[in-house]
Amino acid sequence: MITSVQLIPLLEPIRPQMERVECLLHETLTEVEEPIRSKLRYSLDGGKRLRPSLVILSGQVFAPTTEPFYSLAAAVDMLHTATLIHDDLLDEASLRRGRKTLHTIWPPGAAVLAGDYLLGQAISLIAELGHPRIFKVFGETLCTLCAGEIRRMVAQGGHSHQDYYRSIEAKTASLFTASAEMAGILAGSEEMQIAALRRFGRELGMAFQIVDDVLDFIGDEEQLGKPAGSDFRQGVVTLPVLYYLERVENSGPVHAVLSGQQDEGHVCAAIEAVRSSGAIEASLAEARAYARQSQEALATLPDNTSRQLLCSLADYVVERKR
Ligand code: IPE
Ligand code: IPE
Ligand code: MG
Ligand code: MG
């Protein structure tokens, strides 16, 4: 059975490969007992599959896609989905991928364990590749992601651009970096080219998270498939907030929310204040700069359709609305 996948339009040229990834995501869970299987499928459905597409395209820069790349791509989205299940519980988010979050329809403890279960499935897929270097990158990336999320939770006052970049590099860019890097390793490419893929993934991931943080202020909940304004309500200081605080004399409305005044009136006033301060444009300019740097990293790779699609992916990441 071909499972249909809702691809972003620019990935249409690799639809057959992405449908194979989709099938594998489902097939891998066939033996899992109920009700765990249906809850894992529920959680996996509806993602944009950006990281798996990064695996497929990075590999295809060097050679046509073979079976191990599908396993790697599926494992990467399983790891990503597991982090989302855990992230939503930590963020008390109600909506993900246009559906109720797992911890709101299941006991929260079971949701934690379902995330862990998915990590176990991802590890099994990676193990089948029989490639210790990829295994090591995968394990280290999981550690980096966890450290990034922990840092975000226990951040103590330090609200500099440097703190912000350190945080998003760990919690988000690390998996983009690893996706491109692991595909390069699997393709048997030269070290210089693996390094170029790493850099591409890293800069792309930075741009991606900055735009995610911008969408938290200007995005539409229905289109995003997840709540807007949620980081802000939780007092997380993202790039738009940093720019806002630097730009305005009277940062009262935002300080009120950050110091716990979370009623709708205060939150709406603060979001509007950030929107009209120029902070959104300044943040998007940074995202664009990262996207441009990611495109520069591609220069040393073979020039072919897959490389061009990676280049377009960097433009998409800045333009996206979901
Ligand atoms: C969401 O990532 C988590 C972040 C790092 C901001 P995506 O926006 O790629 O999530 P899905 O997979 O499409 O749901
Ligand atoms: C978390 O970032 C990224 C992960 C590593 C899970 P966010 O908290 O901004 O992700 P969203 O906005 O909930 O998707
Ligand atoms: Mg979140
Ligand atoms: Mg977010």
With a 6 A CB cut-off, is 212 part of the ligand 2 pocket? yes
Q: Which atom of ligand 1 is nearest to the CA of 226?
A: 14
In tens digits, the chain (322 residues) has pLDDT values of: 445 688 899 999 999 999 999 999 999 999 999 999 999 999 999 999 999 999 999 999 999 999 999 999 999 999 999 999 999 999 899 999 999 999 999 999 999 999 999 999 999 999 999 999 999 999 999 999 999 988 888 876 568 999 999 999 999 999 999 999 999 999 999 999 999 999 999 999 999 999 999 999 999 888 999 888 888 888 889 999 999 999 888 788 888 888 888 888 889 999 999 999 999 999 999 999 999 999 999 999 999 999 999 999 999 999 998 8
Q: How many CB atoms lie within 10 A of CB 40?
A: 25
Helix (H) or strand (E) holding 201: helix 191-218
Which bound ligand lies closest to the C-alpha atom of 209?
Answer: 1
CA distances to 71, 206, 265, 294 from 220, rounded to whole Å, are: 33, 21, 18, 27
Rg of the chain taking only CA atoms, in angstroms: 19
Q: What amino acid occupies position 159? A: H
pLDDT given for residue 252 in this prediction: 85
Which bound ligand lies closest to the C-alpha atom of 214?
Answer: 4
With a 6 A CB cut-off, is 169 part of the ligand 2 pocket? no
Ligand 1: list residues with CB < 6 Å: 47-48, 50, 80, 97, 172, 209, 212
The DSSP annotation for 1-51 comes to -PPP----GGGGGGHHHHHHHHHHHHHTTTTSPTTHHHHHHHHHTT---HH
Ligand 2 site-directed mutation target among 78, 95, 172, 230, most atoms within 8 Å of CB: 172
With a 6 A CB cut-off, is 92 part of the ligand 2 pocket? no
Spatial separation of the C-alpha atoms in residues 100 and 104, rounded to whole Å: 7
Q: Which atom of ligand 1 is nearest to the CA of 48?
A: 13
Write the CB contacts of 159 (distance below 8 Å, at least 6 apart in sequence): 237, 242, 245
What's the pTM? 0.96
Spatial separation of the C-alpha atoms in residues 29 and 42, rounded to whole Å: 12
Q: How far is the CA of 236 from the centre of ligand 2 (A)?
A: 11
pLDDT given for residue 8 in this prediction: 92
CA–chain centroid gap for 220, Å, is 18
100 by DSSP, 3-state: which?
A: strand
pLDDT given for residue 227 in this prediction: 86
At what angle are helices 108-128 and 67-91 packed, to 10 degrees? 160
For residue 96, list its beta bridge partners. Answer: 99
DSSP 169: I
Q: How far is the CA of 271 from the centre of ligand 3 (A)?
A: 18
Contacts 24+ apart (CB under 8 A), 189-192: 189/62, 192/300
Instruction: Answer for the pair 233, 213: CB distance below 8 angstroms, yes or no.
Output: no
Half-sphere exposure for 110 (CA within 13 Å, toward CB) = 13
- Among residues 152, 212, 209, 197, the alpha carbon closest in space to that of 297 is found at 197
